[in-house]
Amino acid sequence: MQREGCRMSGGVQEPPAAGMITLDDLDNMTDDVGSDSAYNSNGSTEEKLEPMEDAEQDQLLNYWQTVARGHQVEVPNEMAEPIQQLTRNGRTEERQRVPYLLLSQKEKCGEVLYEKRQYGKAKWACIKMHEEQYEQSICMGFMKLMRYICEQNSSGLYLGMTIPILTTVHTDEARTALMRSVTVAYYIPTHLQDDPPQPTDQEIVIEEWPPTLVFTRTFTGATNEVSIMREISLLAELLESPDLCLQDTFIVAGYTNPAAANRQNEIWFLERP
């Protein structure tokens, strides 16, 4: 990444038709910056990038604010610097994936219906949200985690983006509706697992999650109350023994920005311990 900073061609780009943005959209906005990143593969700083010019930072912030209004979320001006950090240092090849062991998968006509995976013990930065709508909870939770990732932590460093971002959701006893309370979680990069930087935001808590067996199914598109309940029902129908999984707690794994128009997601069922 060239050190003179981001150069966006033209003015503020128009948001996609759905009024949403992806991390890949943001990558495209900085294609002319090049591939000489100032961050190595483990997310540590090799050389400080010079800050964006004020006009460029304002354009990027305005873009995010326009997108967020489609989700009834306001992006405060203080998000300008975290957005800049995530945009310039969040290229796809630098997003560390949460490690897991693939145990088995079920296929039909060459299509993977679901996988069974083993995730190891790991530390996550978590924040609980209780907004009126699921979309609001994940967007606002993600913004808070962005601040933690982008230098608002005890190390003062950019930590590096990891995927997926997880959202733990709960249903009512009849499994017909989502509860308002959700937990949005960011996997602490592997090289920081032993001593995670502490958040400056007291609402963010570092939690150690135990080893977990999950059944997971891929789906695309928006994640909202309707789509999540649909995916829970679909995976329950495919599993031979869904009663072996937790009945009211599920995880939505997001591989793209929560505001993405065509999100890449998974629904996870947690096997009972």
Residue-wise pLDDT tens for the chain (273 aa)? Answer: 222 222 222 233 333 333 333 444 444 433 333 332 222 233 433 334 455 566 666 666 676 666 666 556 666 666 666 666 666 554 545 678 999 999 999 999 989 999 999 999 999 999 999 988 888 888 888 889 988 998 889 999 889 889 999 999 999 888 888 998 999 999 999 999 999 999 999 999 999 999 999 999 999 988 888 999 999 999 999 998 888 898 899 999 999 875 566 789 999 999 988
Is 46 part of any domain? yes
Q: What are the tokens at 266? A: 């998974």
Instruction: Residue 196: give the domain boundaries.
Output: 96-271
Is 10 part of any domain? no
Question: By three-state DSSP, how is residue 204 classified?
Answer: coil
Task: Give the burial string for 91-108 (b: 16+ CB within 10 Å, else e).
Answer: beebebebeeeeeeeeee
Residues 182, 102 share a domain: yes
> How far apart, in whole angstroms, are the C-alpha atoms of residue 27 and residue 19?
17
pTM of the model: 0.73
Is 2 part of any domain? no
Return the CATH number at 201.
3.20.80.10
> How far apart, in whole angstroms, are the C-alpha atoms of residue 126 and residue 179?
18
Return the pLDDT at 89. 53
Residues 100, 90 share a domain: no
Is 114 part of any domain? yes
Alpha helices, DSSP H, located in the chain: 23-29, 54-69, 80-89, 134-149, 225-238
